[in-house]
Structure 1
């Protein structure tokens, strides 16, 4: 199993359908789990997908429309029911603080989980850690909305053949990694001499929005872009009016931003053939396109 993958819990927009539950996406990022926009029914979808509450480290809400947050009460209560031992951080637009309070306290339950609310006030980093940096950017919708981007810093990959040629073994490998250089037999060997850059991976999550600067900033150069494509081009005017994207818009964003894997989701119930979305996006974007399906798992692409 990949250590970095997206588990798709639901892909419908305004209402669920017979084939699609409302939104819900768990990003497994090594040992960190980020749950994005848990809509109604997310707790059951987690069960079907084999996702445990203990995998959740962060809950990230883009905005407070029901299809993106009505699963919060069940998730919050499940964290306590399962006695999840680690802190769980909740990020959401600060203007919706009262909505989150109501969702968190929707019914009576014995709260023992350590849920830490961290409202998002503006563009910028919202969390850093071993996973990298989680950043929020403002989007354009009918209510305040933010998208999220997870970025891993670049690292170094040690090259065994160059280490051997330089005579670096054992503790000296750790030393050159720590200090950036090491002295071997009177010679200085720099880290750059025995390693190469390992590009950090990146992931972006863009939901309900018109095309705006925030969309392009979030998507810029990411390895995986999960993006709403609520409508097709035939409803482009309606999409702009209600603050949504078309599959064509999503393809354009992916092409202009150099995205590697484009994941389309958040589909209007008016469409029954998901192939229409990939075909429309492919007219603008020649890279990998995935039309998200409920309970599917999408691996992060291999490192560049």
Structure 2
């Protein structure tokens, strides 16, 4: 299996700083590369991160504020320049179709990219792959915004010792996985007898929003949560007014929802010391905590079952 990891391309909010580019996040998930919220400068950040444009297989926009979408023209034009051969679905709030059209055709270029618009109109599934489903939920922001959640279904992990004891080997292993029960040398063997539950992995992406039920639904039980934390709690009134989370609010959701790794990002330029976000979040969240930096890579945590018993055969 190829890597499952988050490549952080930018971590600023409304205004970039010398150390922080506008938003941009690439989720590598097996053969997929989901690009979330490409803000201004994303094309260059991809280059600095060593990510080719061909690695992008899907684009997801939460909303149409500039720090979340102004990099789209450069990304699309670069993918055309590189003649990326595969189709690239693009998800965005349907109410912003006019803005997407402007961004897609922001300047003259030779457009050969198969960019397939798939606007998001309501909560629920928006796409599916061989072993995952992408869901969206409407957030609470002054403009229409959606968060995203990638879900791998639960499965089962085969147990080598149990398989050997049951006399199941070779092609019969695959047949047992498909059919659930087989005859092995006159003995009935059920899948449950030679395997153990293997929880699917989950990822959530929550950008500009006030605290709301949708944030909790997106974050529920995920292995890796990327959450905006524009403000510190001392400015909670401003956060509420402008439709954002504080670091403490994001961490509280993560703690309540059983998140394993929390990635804080989308920091206001008013704060100079990122460790203040860490301290505020750590006071309420005991899991793995990452205060994101540009060009950082964050692995999706291994499944708990894998950590206990090692990788599957």
TM-score (norm 2): 0.96
1:283 to 1:210, Cα distance in 2 relative to 1, 3 A: same
Deviation at 1:301, TM superposition (A): 0.7
Partners of 1:29 and 1:131 within 8 A in 2: no
Name the structure 1 match of 2:271. 271
3-state secondary structure, aligned to 1:128: strand
Name the structure 1 match of 2:77. 77
Q: Establish whether residue 22 from structure 1 lines up as the match of residue 39 from structure 2.
A: no
Root mean square deviation of aligned Cα: 0.9
Residues 139-173 of structure 1: CA deviation (Å, up to 9, x unaligned): 00010000000000011111110000001111211
Deviation at 1:210, TM superposition (A): 0.2
Name the structure 2 match of 1:145. 145
3-state secondary structure, aligned to 1:205: strand
Name the structure 2 match of 1:94. 94
- Aligned counterparts of 2:185 and 2:55: Cα–Cα separation in 1: 48
3-state secondary structure, aligned to 2:26: strand
Name the structure 1 match of 2:104. 104
Name the structure 1 match of 2:8. 8
- Aligned counterparts of 2:95 and 2:119: Cα–Cα separation in 1: 8
Deviation at 1:298, TM superposition (A): 0.4
3-state secondary structure, aligned to 1:102: helix
3-state secondary structure, aligned to 1:98: helix
Name the structure 2 match of 1:120. 120
Deviation at 1:253, TM superposition (A): 0.4
- Aligned counterparts of 1:31 and 1:103: Cα–Cα separation in 2: 27
Partners of 1:32 and 1:131 within 8 A in 2: no
Partners of 2:22 and 2:41 within 8 A in 1: yes
Partners of 1:88 and 1:115 within 8 A in 2: yes
- Aligned counterparts of 1:116 and 1:140: Cα–Cα separation in 2: 27
Partners of 1:60 and 1:91 within 8 A in 2: yes
3-state secondary structure, aligned to 2:175: helix
TM-score (norm 1): 0.99
Name the structure 1 match of 2:309. none
Name the structure 1 match of 2:44. 44
User: Unpaired segments of 5 or more residues in structure 1?
Assistant: none
Partners of 2:2 and 2:29 within 8 A in 1: no
- Aligned counterparts of 1:198 and 1:263: Cα–Cα separation in 2: 24
* 1:119-268 matches, cutoff 5 A: 119-268=119-268
- Aligned counterparts of 2:6 and 2:14: Cα–Cα separation in 1: 22
Matched pairs, number = 304
User: Unpaired segments of 5 or more residues in structure 2?
Assistant: 305-313
Residues 184-216 of structure 1: CA deviation (Å, up to 9, x unaligned): 122110011111111100000000000011100
Deviation at 1:48, TM superposition (A): 0.1
Partners of 2:2 and 2:31 within 8 A in 1: no
Name the structure 1 match of 2:311. none
3-state secondary structure, aligned to 2:27: strand
3-state secondary structure, aligned to 2:51: coil
Which contiguous aligned blocks of 4+ residues in structure 1 show a shift greater than 2 angstroms?
none
Q: Establish whether residue 64 from structure 1 lines up as the match of residue 68 from structure 2.
A: no
